[in-house]
Structure 1
Amino acid sequence: MAVMISPSPRRAPGEQAPRAPRTFWTDARFFIGLALITVSVAGVWWVVAAARQTTPVLAASSTIVPGQAVTAADLAVVDVALGSAVDGYLAPHELEEGVVANRTIAEGELVPSAAVSSAESSAVTTVVVRSAVDVPGAVEPGTPVELWSAPLLDGGVYDDPRVLVADAVVGAVAREDTVMGASGASIELVVGRDDVAAVLAAVASGAALSAVPQAAP
């Protein structure tokens, strides 16, 4: 018995073969890729938006020295983008009355919350001394200095100078020119409370005092 085989239908010239139907996995890969692109775009947008988000904090309008009372007049409000680090800086609403600086805060520097404290808890205070020699022009408020003392001996001569306070900070300098042309200066120094007695004793005894800038580290 002969078996008849039907010939396959011929396609007209230019006619394409019929496409196989799409499978489920082909569609799944498309939607997974679309989801990944969406997540990536959203992540970039979030990063950019976070970088543009600013928070108001306080910055020093001029140099603030240790022990100086810190008020709104000494500060300026600036908007900065610090991210999570913003919690470490003083916000305008966090400034309290009666606070002083714990360390030198340079002009334009953002004020760390730890850089101020109540006056009662401050470990420093200010004293005014008369310099026996001219004060270098580079010495200005905020400059760290050593206070040297040459004790006055009998006969009006001075003993060898020695370091009286190793870590003082200049609060203010008042330079003067006398009629005879000699120059001098009164210096307001920020010193530790433990050093106040020694400084006042040196002043009372007539010792020659000099403020010398600390050597750079």
Structure 2
Amino acid sequence: MIRSRAHRPFFGDLRFLIGVALVLASIAGVWLLVSTSRQTAPVLQATRTVLPGEAISSAELQVVEVGLGTLSGSYLAPQSLQPGAVAVRTLTAGELVPLAAVGDPDALRTTSVVIRSTAVPADVSAGTVVELWHAPPIDDGRAFEEPRILVADAVIARVAEEDGMLAGGRIDVEVVVDRADVADVLAAITGGDAISIVPTGAGS
């Protein structure tokens, strides 16, 4: 009697095919990941600290090739830099320029004000984010009220007399503040308030 050949169950063959498909998909995924990581795109990088409100041009930027993958569209490409563009926040030297950090000057919400401070820490320089504290005068200026925050997030633009910072004298400092804070800052200046500068995070 001739015996018929045993047939492999259909579901066993299906599991084998699914396994092969999963292996191939895994290999393709790894290849795609490696291929994407090797791709670079030209983006702009700040060569110096750029303050809010400053114009951004080729003088402050350089082109670098970086592998950002899907994030490359979030950074400023050389061909995307528009004439007259300004920084809307501080860009530190060496930072890749995000698109969100560049804007139109007409929409800028910051401006600079010069204040005279009696307390400027030695490590404060252009680009430092600081708090402005003020103490209104009492008794015809012979004493002052308790200090309180005037501006919570100002940016130092320029310190006029760096050599005098440790001498305890009054120092002119240019700070970048939100336009909504300008009236309060000017009122503190004209009112004779004692204004102090505190780097953000100091003492915390």
Tell me the TM-score range normalised by the shorter chain: 0.7 to 0.9
**8 Å Cα contact 2:134/2:188 also seen in 1:** yes
Aligned partner of 1:206 among 189, 192, 201: 192
* Larger-Rg structure: 1
Q: Which residue, out of 156, 169, 172, partners 2:141?
A: 156
* Mean Cα deviation higher: 44-53 or 75-84: 44-53
3-state SS in 2 of match to 1:202: helix
Equivalent of residue 138 in structure 1, options 108, 113, 123? 123
The answer for the alignment partner of 2:12 in structure 1 is none
TM-score by length of 1: 0.72
Q: 1:43 to 1:195 in 2, by over 3 A?
A: closer
Query: What is the alpha-carbon distance in structure 2 between the residues aligned to residue 82 and residue 49 of structure 1?
Result: 12
Q: Distance in 2 between matches of 1:44 and 1:210?
A: 56
Matches within 5 A, 1:4-19: none
In 1, the alpha carbon distance for the partners of 2:57 and 2:137 equals 41
State how far apart, in whole Å, the 1-side matches of 2:106 and 2:25 are.
54
Superposition RMSD on alpha carbons, in Å? 2.9
Look up the match of 2:53: 67
Which amino acid is 1:149 matched to?
H
Amino acid at match of 1:115: A
For the residue of structure 2 that corresponds to 1:104, the secondary structure is: coil
Question: What is the Cα deviation at residue 40 of structure 1?
Answer: 8.2
Q: Does the 8 Å CA contact 1:58/1:89 hold for their aligned counterparts? A: yes
Q: Cα offset for 1:185? A: 2.6
What residue is the counterpart of 1:15 in the other structure?
none
How far has the Cα of 1:86 moved from its partner? Answer: 0.4
Letter in 2 for 1:67: G
Question: CA–CA distance in 2 between the matches of 1:211 and 1:182?
Answer: 13
Equivalents in 2 of 1:212, 1:40: separation in Å? 54
Paired with 2:188 and 2:56, the residues of 1 have a C-alpha distance of 30
Against the structure 1 CA distance between its residues 117 and 79, is the aligned structure 2 distance closer, same or farther, given a 3 Å change threshold?
A: same
Instruction: From the superposition, tell whether residues 82 and 176 of structure 1 become closer, same or farther in structure 2 (CA, over 3 Å).
Output: closer
SS, match of residue 126 in structure 1: strand
1:16 corresponds in structure 2 to none
* TM-score scaled by length of structure 2: 0.76
SS of structure 2 residue aligned to 1:87: helix
> Conserved in 2, the CA contact under 8 Å of 1:176 and 1:183?
no
Which letter does structure 2 place at the counterpart of 1:143? T
Q: 2-side partners of 1:149 and 1:38: how far apart?
A: 67
Match of 1:91 among 61, 77, 100: 77
- Asked if 2 retains the 8 angstrom alpha-carbon contact of 1:90 and 1:111, the reply is yes
Amino acid at match of 1:152: P
